[in-house]
Amino acid sequence: MALVKLTINNQPHTIDVDPEMPLLWAIRDVVGLTGTKFGCGVAQCGACTVHLDGAPIRSCSYPASAAAGHKITTIEGLSKNADHPVQKAWIEHQVPQCGYCQSGQIMSAVALLKQNPKPSDEDIDTAMQGNICRCGTYERIRKAIHSASTEMASAPKMPKSTPKIGKL
Contact between 132 and other proteins per CB under 8 A: yes
Q: Least separation, in Å, of the C-beta of 48 and ligand FES?
A: 3
Q: Least separation, in Å, of the C-beta of 6 and other proteins?
A: 15
User: Residue 28 or 88: which CB sits closer to ligand FES?
Assistant: 28
Report the site for other proteins in 45-64 (rule: CB under 8 A).
45, 47
Please give the radius of gyration of the chain, using alpha carbons only, rounded to the nearest integer: 16
Q: Which does 94 bind (CB under 5 to 8 A by kind): ligand FES, other proteins, none?
A: other proteins
Non-local CB neighbours of 111 within 8 Å, separated by 6+ positions:
51, 54, 55, 56, 127
Distance (Å, rounded) from C-alpha 96 to C-alpha 99?
5
Report the site for ligand FES in 92-151 (rule: CB under 6 A).
96-102, 133-135, 137
Q: What are phi and psi of 95, to 5 degrees?
A: -70, -55
Contact between 63 and ligand FES per CB under 6 A: no
Give the angle subtended at the CA of 103 by the CAs of 113 and 29, to the nearest 5°.
135
Report the site for ligand FES in 27-56 (rule: CB under 6 A).
38-41, 43-48
Distance (Å, rounded) from C-alpha 51 to C-alpha 18?
21
Distance (Å, rounded) from C-alpha 128 to C-alpha 161?
27
Q: Which residues in this chain contact other proteins in the complex, by CB under 8 A?
A: 1, 17-18, 21-22, 25, 28-30, 32-42, 44-45, 47, 74-76, 82, 87, 90-91, 94-103, 106, 124-126, 128-129, 131-142, 163-168
